[in-house]
Amino acid sequence: MSTNIKQLDISNTVVEAMPPSIRLCSNLVRLDLHRNRKFKRLTHLPPSITELNLSNTGIERIPDCIKDLHGLHTLTLFGCRRLTSLPEFPDSLTSLDAGDCESLETVFFPLNTSITHLDFTNCFKLGQHARRAIIQQAFFLGTAVLPGRQVPAEFDHRARGWSFLSWRRIIAQDYSCAVQGNFDVRKVSKFRKEHFFISHLLNFYTPGDRRQIVYKFSSISNDFDVIECGAKILKEESMEMSYESRSDQVIEVSQDNTEHNDPISCWSWLFFCFGLSDLRNATI
């Protein structure tokens, strides 16, 4: 095998481990090992790797040295049913798919992680600390899907079912956001129980604007029900301040200082749950 190779696909084979010589492939950026059921050990990876697909393999543990892959941005672990924990990942990682990792119990996200997409579909053994870590990560930077149906307390504006969210109290606090966006929730037909999806929209704030804020959720294909939805509105400066000083708790935002003369940005985090009433005949 040439050491200049950039992409390597050895999926659907009986490979059990990577040979030491793979580390000499200094230009290798994409490695696909999916559906190698006998593959159990991850070793000898070159630091040039940016995309790694281990989905539906027999891997039992992700080694701690994965944090040394400083160019890794996409890690796919879907269907790794023997994994029980996830280690610290490199700062470069932006997408993690751990769906159907049915034995997964613990995860670790450092404060400086850049992950913007988290998929923990059907990971029903996740512990409370792991769930909080996932929610916190989505709260700051991106999106997440994981089992559950109860809206976290941080989302202080809520509505039941498909109905809209309208918050006149926010207007009274001198907040105003204009919102437009679509979200694609993948693999809904694979949800075995209720799941919730967290995401954010970047909005803008205009002093003196008193328009009502409305969010409405719907399914184009009508393949799931929204049980409950909620949102949290944060101003940009509060977001930045909280991000710099965040600890083990999800951020709390003070609304005391709301008088500004210049337009500023604000962030909104949207949360909604999916029921199974329309999924009973779906293939799991």
Strand partners, 147: 195
Looking at CATH, the fold of the domain delimited by 1-147 is given as 3.80.10
Domain with CATH 3.80.10.10 in the chain: 1-147
pLDDT of residue 152: 75
Interatomic CA distance for residues 235 and 255, integer angstroms: 9
Question: Which pTM does this prediction carry?
Answer: 0.77
pLDDT of residue 281: 40
Low-confidence ranges of the chain (pLDDT < 70): 1, 110-113, 139-141, 161-190, 201-224, 233-284
pLDDT of residue 249: 37
Return all residues near 13 (Cβ < 8 A) that are at least 6 apart.
Answer: 36
Q: Is 248 exposed, middle or buried (0-12, 13-18, 19+ CB in 10 A)?
A: exposed
The model's pLDDT over 204-239, given as tens digits with 9 standing for 90+, comes to 445 555 556 666 666 666 666 777 777 776 655 545
Q: Is 69 exposed, middle or buried (0-12, 13-18, 19+ CB in 10 A)?
A: buried
Q: Give strand ranges (E) for 37-137.
A: 51-53, 74-76, 95-97, 117-119
